Structure 1
Amino acid sequence: MKTKITLIGALLFAITFLSAQEIKSGKFGKGLFNVVGKDSSWTMRVGLRAQLLGTSTWNEGESGETSFLTRRSRLKFDGYAYSPKLKYKIELGLSNRDQSGASSFTHESPRYILDAVLMWNFHKNFVIWFGQTKLPGNRERVISSANLQQVDRSLLNSSFTIDRDFGFQLRHHFNLSKNFVVKEIFSVAQGEGRNVTRGNLGGHQYTGRIELLPFGNFSSKGDYKGSDLKREQKPKLALGVSYDHNNDAVKTRSNQGSYMYIDGTEGDGYKGSFFETNINTLFIDAMFKYNGFSLMAEYANRDAKDPLAKNSDGTLTGDEVQVGNGLNLQTGFLLKNDWEISGRYTNIDWDNLTGNSNQDQYTLGLSKYISGHSLKVQTDISHLEVAGGSNQLLYRLQFDIHF
């Protein structure tokens, strides 16, 4: 019921102003409609998208299991307010998966808000962001789930991502030469993930990222889109490095994972009830595209000052920071008829103290782009090898539509 009220309220808000504004509908995939103030002092583009997923899983020694769900369903608003130099983005998650992860720190409420951020271009190539949005971490996570090359992101992302948080980001770019572009980002965030209403329990989270594009910008921001749908006429390369420091972190995966409670307390939300340690995460990534061929590579490493959570008397709680390394290699080739074949290899190498099993996953994907990423059908099959555990075979089929 709350989801319906939120959606209806958002739509009514937009419709209330329609009679007094200029409304433009654009090309499919570019938004349901675009509202422009009569004095052009503000704009609002409204978009809607959904991903419909079917999955079959076979674990070694067990019978198969099949499931169907609306993986993602989202309502998006973006534009500028007062001046084109002041932009905004709001994205609401409507599916159960989008709203999952409620806890006492979110007042046990569904987490509707994915993005709510203002972006102010206050001086030349300097832009400051304020609000909740994705942190400048691994490239695969920053790529929108609407623009993925395969059905979903890799195991590296689910294991190491720093995802979304609330805070400030300062962004800048400049040219070293006519074609060589350098982009820099620095972020300060709360450090406990999105939609947290009872915080900050630990310290703060600091993230820095630098990107090098020696052959210039990609077409249509293709360095943050899966597949070479624009069929780059010249080779394009992007190299990125991110380093994240979460000071006195209280969760097992930096600003993700579960809270590390101590002394038997759980759910009270008081600062003294949590184990705190500094957690550092390193990402190194690359994206290459040329004439329908694409290659994305990522490496991740997470370590901690003290990865084993301890009670006040020094005894172990049983929780530990998920420290280790990850490697993801992904490539694809887009045929002339807009069918694409893709492949991915992912390795997760945990430190022994985590108690987790190392994993290797091999994925073969096939996609048909009917109207780019806005309307596509994707399928893939993955074989997961688990050290000392049960291997798994996973098949997925997904339909993606984006207005």
Structure 2
Amino acid sequence: MTKTKIDLQMPFKYFLIGITLLFITVAHSQDITPKFGEGMLRLVSKDSSWSVRFAPRIQFRALSNWDYENDKFGKPEHSFLIRRARLKFDGFAYSPKLRYKIELGLSNQDISRASDFTGNAPNIIFDAVIMWNFYENFELWAGQAKLPGNRERVISSANLQLIDRSILNSTFNIDRDLGIQLRHHFNISEKIIIREMLAFSQGEGRNIITGNLGGNQYTSRVEILPLGEFTKKGDYIGGDIYREKSPKLAIGATFDLNQDAVKTRSNMGNYMENDIGFHETTISTVFVDAMFKYNGFSFMGEYSYRDATDPIAKNSDGSTTGEEVYTGQGFNFQGGYMFKTNWEIAARFSSILPETRFLANDTRTQYTLGGSKYIVGHKLKVQSDLSYATNGGESDSIEFRIGFDLHF
């Protein structure tokens, strides 16, 4: 098993090294020197029939954890982590109306969760999607990409206000999948903007090669921006780093239906295997969220709710397998203030409340206080936060994190 894994990884290593050297060589020969934060390399063909931008990024992190029980702290645990190391490519092909995006993950956490369902190969591909603006404000996506789920998940991990996403997101998000998406937007007035998004996907998550084990996944999302567009798409960027000169507000709602799902968290989580194959149940997930920004102040709120027709996984004789769909609800509220010195303070409150039988004591609440120094916006920053979490029937815990982002 180990040998097979090594053999599968080697072609990827050579491919990535070769691509990187090729781009560096081409960039040097063309004397291309883009500004920091706009990609390490940006190329456009002489006849303007294609373009490519190459942008690597790194997230380094140091963590310390203390369990708190019996009115005292336990022995601390410390670790260092390359949380993310990724290569991003984007541009257009044939026409500016036909765009593409590729994102590859290299860190251990990026490529983890290899299984029979992914061909036991490193889970490297995050995004591989083509986006075609085929008519006016309509755009068709095809490939693997984030589904139009909760706002916090769609915000890139490179653009987060705190050092990582909330426990609501880790529990309820619907992440990436393979399929097609249709996106559209229109203006009701000079300022009021409406966006609509529809997705039809496999429902199994990213990089699955075994096909569709259950039904399909259907996702719809509507957003309204009643006060006009945010600066540089700031409704999907953490913190008010552009210090909006007038109030900006975005409100969104998502409904996701995964028909005959076989995983515990819609298209994520564990497979619910039983004695005849897989336990199947239809899972519905709802998200409601909002983002507000003005003059350095920012606020984001999210609510999630998940339900399933038959959440407890069973064998053919009715006995339980020990797996179940994580149903219940979650809340996440966070806000911050960006000083003119590009320092920001931020705070977050998150809570998840399960409804299913085996998870009745898994109610979790987390309080987080953080600070960030933006050297070149989100492209180069140092962040730190301190969190206190109550973990249902388990001991409470305190976590301290500090790290940096470097994003070309």
SS at match of 2:274: coil
Of 173, 195, 219 in structure 2, the residue corresponding to residue 183 of structure 1 is: 195
Alignment partner of 1:32 out of 26, 31, 40:
40
Counterpart CA distance in 1 for 2:190 and 2:304 is 31
Q: Matched residues in 1 for 2:356 and 2:93: separation?
A: 51
Q: Does 1:222 align with 2:243?
A: no
Question: Compared with structure 1, are the counterparts of its residues 23 and 181 closer, same or farther at alpha carbon in structure 2 (3 Å cutoff)?
Answer: farther
Distance across 2 between alignment mates of 1:387 and 1:6: 46
Bigger CA drift: 277-286 or 385-394?
Answer: 385-394
Following TM superposition, by how much is the alpha carbon of 1:386 offset from its aligned partner in structure 2, in angstroms? 1.8
> Is residue 23–residue 33 contact of structure 1 (8 Å, CA) maintained in 2?
no
Residue aligning to 1:51: 59
CA spacing shift, 1:389–1:273, aligned 2, 3 Å? same
1:386 to 371, 388, 391: 391
The aligned residue for residue 382 of structure 2 is 377
Counterparts of 2:109 and 2:277, CA distance in 1:
29
Report the CA distance between 1:17 and its aligned residue: 5.9
Matches within 5 A, 1:74-93: 74-93=86-105
Pick aligned residue for 1:236 from 248, 257, 267: 248
Paired letter, 2:18: G
Please state whether the residue corresponding to 1:354 is helix, strand or coil: coil
Alignment partner, residue 67 of structure 1: 79
Give the match's secondary structure for 1:27: coil
Counterpart-to-counterpart distance in 2, 1:342 and 1:385: 20
Q: Measure the CA separation in 2 of the matches of 1:77 and 1:207.
A: 26
User: Is 1:9–2:18 an aligned residue pair?
Assistant: yes
User: Are 1:342 and 2:369 counterparts?
Assistant: no
TM-score (norm 2): 0.94
Which of residues 354, 357, 366 in structure 2 aligns to 1:361?
A: 366
Q: Does the Cα contact within 8 Å between 2:327 and 2:356 map onto a contact in 1?
A: no
The size of the alignment, in residue pairs, is: 394
The CA deviation string for residues 50-77 of structure 1, in whole angstroms up to 9 with x for no partner, is 0000000001243110000110000010
Secondary structure in 2 matching 1:279: strand
TM-score relative to the length of structure 1: 0.95
State whether structure 2 residue 313 is matched by structure 1 residue 309: yes
Q: Distance in 1 between matches of 2:113 and 2:174?
A: 15
**Equivalent residue of 1:98, what SS?**
helix
1:280 alignment counterpart: 284
The 3-state SS of whatever aligns with 1:24 is coil
CA contact (8 A) 1:75 1:91 kept: yes
Contact 1:23 1:35 in 2 (8 A): no
Q: Which runs of 5+ in 1 are unaligned?
A: 264-271
Contact 2:118 2:208 in 1 (8 A): yes
User: Which residue identity does 1:315 align to in structure 2?
Assistant: S
8 Å CA contact retained: 2:311, 2:356: no
Deviation at 1:328, TM superposition (A): 0.1
> Residues 17 and 372 of structure 1: is their aligned pair in 2 closer, same or farther, counting only changes over 3 Å?
closer
Partner of 1:325: 329
Q: Which amino acid aligns with 2:210?
A: R
Structure 1 equivalent of residue 164 of structure 2: 152
* Gapped regions of structure 2 (runs ≥ 5): 1-8
CA distance in 2, matches of 1:218, 1:323: 34
Displacement of 1:33 in angstroms is 1.1
Distance 1:284 1:16, change over 3 A: same
Say which of 188, 191, 211 aligns to 2:223: 211
1:31-63 per-residue CA deviation (whole Å, 9 max, x = no partner) reads 001011111100000001000000000012431
Aligned to 1:120: 132
User: Displacement of 1:11 after TM fit?
Assistant: 2.1
Give identity over the alignment, percent. 57
- Kindly indicate whether the alpha-carbon contact (under 8 Å) linking 2:326 and 2:356 is maintained by their aligned counterparts in 1: no
Question: Which amino acid is 2:287 matched to?
Answer: F
Q: Which residue of 2 aligns with 1:97?
A: 109
Letter in 1 for 2:33: S
- Tell me the residue number matched to 2:5: none
Does 2:148 match 1:136? yes
Distance, in Å, in 2 between the alignment partners of 1:277 and 1:17 is: 51
SS at match of 1:168: strand
Conserved in 2, the CA contact under 8 Å of 1:323 and 1:354? no
Contact in 2 for aligned 1:23/1:34 (Cα 8 Å): no
Query: Which residue of 2 is the match for residue 269 of structure 1?
Result: none
Local SS of the residue matching 2:108: coil
Residues 185-236 of structure 1: CA deviation (Å, up to 9, x unaligned): 0000110110001121001000000000001110000000000011001000
Alignment check: 8 A CA contact 2:222 2:253 kept: yes
The aligned amino acid for 2:373 is K
